[in-house]
Structure 1
């Protein structure tokens, strides 16, 4: 004997008909059934240059500058008042104005800036104005120079006499690695597979008997 299930009168059954001209079928994710083409995006040279940074031994800017004590409350108040007065008269000394006036000895940029479009033009602008620049790893490390949590760009204008020798070393290294290095500005970046895709191709090459090192994995 079969027991009949009681139907709730508040909810009426409305079966769907997915025939032609009837109910619209719900969209489902079919990406796992798609064989995606093997293409990898290329990064233009203006953005790819931010992946080339100074090595840790050369980038000694933060080590020499962290010994400088932060400004006191009185000095900070005077600094803010001077900045506000300069802004009111249209003489705000930001990084672009200092570079344009050629009053900067060195411009340092961080490589992990979130909004890269805000600073992507600075290397070309520095080369045009004849100002040395370099790119270092970590905006947090660069922030320690100006006693902040993070910093995207730091311009060195006035340096103590005892740090002039170290500044000259940094400027020469910046010219050799960035300002006067023509080949780096023409190199395209990207074109590499992800870690998951690389491991998959490596397993496939190993199963087929090929050498994983000569399977040209990870390059375009």
Structure 2
């Protein structure tokens, strides 16, 4: 949030003015927005892409699963862009992605990725035949 960011930056500035070096941890955020998510997929930084099913016009996201399959990034399609919007504190979000996960959640996240790959990425070949 804005308050936490301001507090964190104040502490960092105060420590640097005292002459100390400050180690910062990479924040774990959910990335959203079609252009930003597309960039992360192309850079192969996205670990999971979540697409809303009710995007209008659908042409905005219809090519995204093909890009995810090409880059071998797991993707899933969920109901409601308002659900995705609540995750990122907006009204709606058509696409979001995860780039990093906490170390203690990596085992569970890998199980989720396996299930998503089985239900979305790998099913494409079956539907194509």
User: Taking structure 1 as the reference length, what is the TM-score of the superposition?
Assistant: 0.42
Moved more, 123-132 or 160-169: 160-169
The 1:169/1:121 distance shift into structure 2, 3 A limit, reads same
Query: What SS does structure 1 have at the residue aligned with 2:100?
Result: coil
2:2 paired with 1:72: yes
Correspondences of 1:132-211 after superposition (within 5 Å): 132-181=74-123, 182-184=125-127, 186=128
Distance 2:81 2:113 in 1: 20
Correspondences of 1:45-56 after superposition (within 5 Å): none
- The structure that is helix-richer by fraction is 2
- TM-superposed CA distance for 1:169, in Å, is 2.2
How many residues end up aligned between the 2 structures? 101
Distance 1:75 1:113 in 2: 32
- TM-superposed CA distance for 1:146, in Å, is 1.5
- The structure that is strand-richer by fraction is 2
User: Taking structure 2 as the reference length, what is the TM-score of the superposition?
Assistant: 0.69
Summarize deviations over 1:71-117 as a string: whole Å, max 9, x none: 224638x8xxxxxxxxxxxxxx8111111111111000011111110
RMSD, aligned α-carbons = 2.2
The 1:163/1:72 distance shift into structure 2, 3 A limit, reads farther
Query: Where does residue 94 of structure 1 map in the other structure?
Result: 36
Distance 1:119 1:141 in 2: 17
Name stretches of at least 5 consecutive residues in structure 1 with no aligned partner: 1-70, 79-92, 188-220
Name stretches of at least 5 consecutive residues in structure 2 with no aligned partner: 10-34
